[in-house]
Structure 1
């Protein structure tokens, strides 16, 4: 039985028991799906990363760099069929199709954890700033855990999907999801849904918690005659939480689509994620200043994130790649 599965994986056989075109996409939507995945992963995000890594004026925490790298991987994985010239016509080979399916079935947990780690980092910085914690000692283990956890989840998902697909070659198909290859397995998709939902719920919890902290301290600052404890600069936290909210909504749609796929909208919404990263985080003032490096920068009381010196005391540790909350 195992040998026959391997032979089927290597052959161009057409699945006999896999639903065809259960996602009702069109040619125009396929083109849009590929553009939304390719332009940020092949152009926009690499430029943003280059600015962050090469410019002396721009500093970002490793969790944000990790997010950009992760969405480049997602965009490249979504474009595999285009690279191979297999977006149309006969079904691609089982090995190629299973390779893409294995990568993309890891996206729900992978993207959810990338976003969770960014939101968690923001929460830790906000809490530390409010509590006037200037240092909590070395946090090397926590940092590496935050960076590695999404990739561990991706690897587990890849192995699980590849195992299911190799054992059931007829379940591997491009036609079923239209935009990309998939594996038809209720147990696999159910597991993916549960794990990703847990991470999305945690993201929501930390976002709400952060908002509560910001709201409470904003009210303290605004109280007449009250002595302000901390001046909170809201631009960066709002950007992070806006992105976390978007990913929560997008991944929730994606999980619903995994369980009951039909509309192409969830796939297109999650394909917009990398573009949203660029729009939210690539429009910060320090990014503009780094892009327009030939222009003389006017003197300003604001720092790299647009905050005053007083309010930046805690938050610069979020954008600084060397800082830790």
Structure 2
């Protein structure tokens, strides 16, 4: 329960506001909002609609989960815009703590979403290069891959809420400029460290996957015209490079928080995801619905796709 002193602090909007540590400009604020809003309000919903409604496009649930997660992140980053509090007087402590608690969950949440997607890529490629026939769905593993990121998000939200509610003066928009934050070195350091661990695991799996593809390129295909998508190594590498960049900038944000660059580049995550994965051949074919389907179909990330001959396979 919040004490009366804390409750009084939540009703104030400008008392003891922490000093600004991120030196951003109005143009950078607009860019930050655009980078968060266009994919979460437009790009990703369209991509999800194609995946869920098209009979010719199939994606593993971990990829759908990644898209949904980035929509949640984009909406959370836009809370102050919805309330008309991106500039001017400080927003209410309650509103500010709500956004801060959501965004402080992003490092672990987004890192785990990426890790689960890359893990699925790794499992598909390993099965392909070892010529392993699918033994049916792994229900428990699948549900764990889908739920674990949200458990991490919930834990981060609860931890941030407890810290912010116990010290309302630490909650402000002014401190991080682009969004509300909670001034707590222990909380920020812990969240950054946990996110970095997950990102490091993601990089390891990315490298492992690329090594397997490099060593077994000719054997990483099943007979019958169905196998790992030919552009997969390029997309894996591109996604891995961005993961490394995000991890580096996350650490930079802790050591040099006055720079707006880490927040802006990390805000590009959803856009990078769209550029990498929405340009896959079957997505393009679904958009260009007037073109005739090719006879050969590839199945990315463990999806099932039919060819014109009626055969199907699951990578």
- Secondary structure of the residue aligned to 1:297 is coil
- Secondary structure of the residue aligned to 1:88 is coil
Counterpart position of 1:246: 242
Structure 2 residue 276 is the aligned partner of structure 1 residue 280: yes
Q: Which runs of 5 or more residues in structure 1 are unaligned?
A: 222-227, 306-314
Number of residue pairs aligned between Structure 1 and Structure 2: 303
Mapped to 1, the partners of 2:9 and 2:314 lie a distance apart of: 51
- Secondary structure of the residue aligned to 2:16 is coil
Q: Which runs of 5 or more residues in structure 2 are unaligned?
A: 223-227, 306-311
Which of the residues 292, 295, 298 maps onto 1:297?
A: 292
Give 1:73 shift. Answer: 0.4
Structure 2 residue 9 is the aligned partner of structure 1 residue 8: yes
**Contact 1:70–1:111 at 8 Å: present in 2 too?**
yes
**Contact 1:172–1:183 at 8 Å: present in 2 too?**
yes
Counterpart position of 1:318: 302
Mapped to 1, the partners of 2:74 and 2:96 lie a distance apart of: 16
Mapped to 2, the partners of 1:106 and 1:9 lie a distance apart of: 21
Residues 198-227 of structure 1 deviation map (CA, whole Å, 9 limit, x = unaligned): 101100111111111111113xx4xxxxxx
Structure 2 residue 201 is the aligned partner of structure 1 residue 202: yes
Counterpart position of 2:183: 184
How has the CA–CA distance of structure 1 residues 250 and 316 changed in structure 2, closer, same or farther, with 3 Å as cutoff?
Answer: closer
Mapped to 2, the partners of 1:287 and 1:194 lie a distance apart of: 36
Mapped to 2, the partners of 1:324 and 1:110 lie a distance apart of: 28
How well do the aligned residues superpose, as a CA RMSD in angstroms?
Answer: 2.0
How has the CA–CA distance of structure 1 residues 229 and 35 changed in structure 2, closer, same or farther, with 3 Å as cutoff?
Answer: closer
Give 1:229 shift. Answer: 7.1
How has the CA–CA distance of structure 1 residues 191 and 317 changed in structure 2, closer, same or farther, with 3 Å as cutoff?
Answer: closer
How has the CA–CA distance of structure 1 residues 259 and 192 changed in structure 2, closer, same or farther, with 3 Å as cutoff?
Answer: farther
Counterpart position of 1:225: none
**Contact 1:189–1:259 at 8 Å: present in 2 too?**
no
Counterpart position of 2:166: 167
Mapped to 1, the partners of 2:229 and 2:292 lie a distance apart of: 22
**Contact 1:15–1:173 at 8 Å: present in 2 too?**
no
Runs of 4+, deviation exceeding 4 Å: 228-233, 321-325
How has the CA–CA distance of structure 1 residues 146 and 241 changed in structure 2, closer, same or farther, with 3 Å as cutoff?
Answer: farther
How has the CA–CA distance of structure 1 residues 323 and 152 changed in structure 2, closer, same or farther, with 3 Å as cutoff?
Answer: farther
TM-score, scaled relative to structure 1: 0.88
Mapped to 2, the partners of 1:316 and 1:206 lie a distance apart of: 17
Mapped to 2, the partners of 1:233 and 1:283 lie a distance apart of: 13
**Contact 2:97–2:182 at 8 Å: present in 1 too?**
yes
Mapped to 1, the partners of 2:220 and 2:158 lie a distance apart of: 50
Q: Point out the more displaced range, 136-145 or 106-115.
A: 136-145
Mapped to 1, the partners of 2:126 and 2:248 lie a distance apart of: 28
TM-score, scaled relative to structure 2: 0.90
How has the CA–CA distance of structure 1 residues 156 and 324 changed in structure 2, closer, same or farther, with 3 Å as cutoff?
Answer: farther
Mapped to 2, the partners of 1:320 and 1:252 lie a distance apart of: 36
**Contact 1:317–1:324 at 8 Å: present in 2 too?**
no
Give 1:233 shift. Answer: 4.2
